[in-house]
Structure 1
C-alpha cells in the first residue's frame, strides 16, 4: 500500500498485487476451461507470452484487455485485479 501525509493525516492508497492478480487471471481462465493458447487466440494475440506474463505477475493487462477479460469471465474488473 502506498501512503503519504496529507494535511497531517496518513492516507493509504491500495496497490495492485501483480502476482496475486496473475494467479487470479489463471484461476479464472482455468474455471472457464480455456488453455493459455485459447485465451491468447481469443485476445487476438500473435503469441501466448502476454498471457504467461500476466499469470506470472510480470505485467498487467492493459485497460482494454482488462475490459475484454472482464466480459469473458463475466466479472467486474475490480474482481480480476487484486489490491493490497
Structure 2
C-alpha cells in the first residue's frame, strides 16, 4: 500500500474563494484577469466542479500572491501499489518506482 496524493477539488475551490475574498477581489475581477468571456469557470473552480489548469493555477498564485501549493488542498488515499501501477504506469516505470516508494516511506520532514 502507498499513499497517493489527490487534490480535493471541493476544499481547493473553497480555498480559492477564501483567498479571493481575503484579497478583496470579486469573481468578475478574476474573470477579467484571465480574459474569460464569462465567469462560469471561476464559479466552477470555487464549487469544486473543476480545477484550474496548471497555467491558470500559476497565474492565480501570482494574482493571489501565494505559492501554488497554498491554493491546492490535498488529501491522501491509500492505494494498493498494484492497483496504482496497473492504472497508470508501464512495467519499466514500476521497476524504477520501488526505490522511490521506499524513499517516500522513509522521508522525514525537518
Give the TM-score taking structure 1 as reference length: 0.87
Secondary structure in 1 aligned to 2:7? coil
Correspondence for 2:58: 67
Tell me the C-alpha RMSD between the 2 structures: 0.6
> Structure 1 residue runs of 4+, over 3 Å off?
none
Secondary structure in 2 aligned to 1:15? strand
Could you tell me how far apart the structure 1 residues matched to 2:53 and 2:66 are?
Answer: 16
Correspondence for 1:26: 17
Structure 2 alignment gaps of length 5 or more: 76-110
* Bigger helix fraction: 2
Secondary structure in 2 aligned to 1:34? coil
Could you tell me how far apart the structure 1 residues matched to 2:57 and 2:4 are?
Answer: 21
The structure whose Rg is larger is 2
Could you tell me how far apart the structure 2 residues matched to 1:34 and 1:74 are?
Answer: 12
Correspondence for 2:29: 38
Q: How many residues align?
A: 75
CA shift for structure 1 position 23: 0.2
Deviations 1:26-76 (A, max 9, x none): 001001111111111111111000000000000000000000011111111
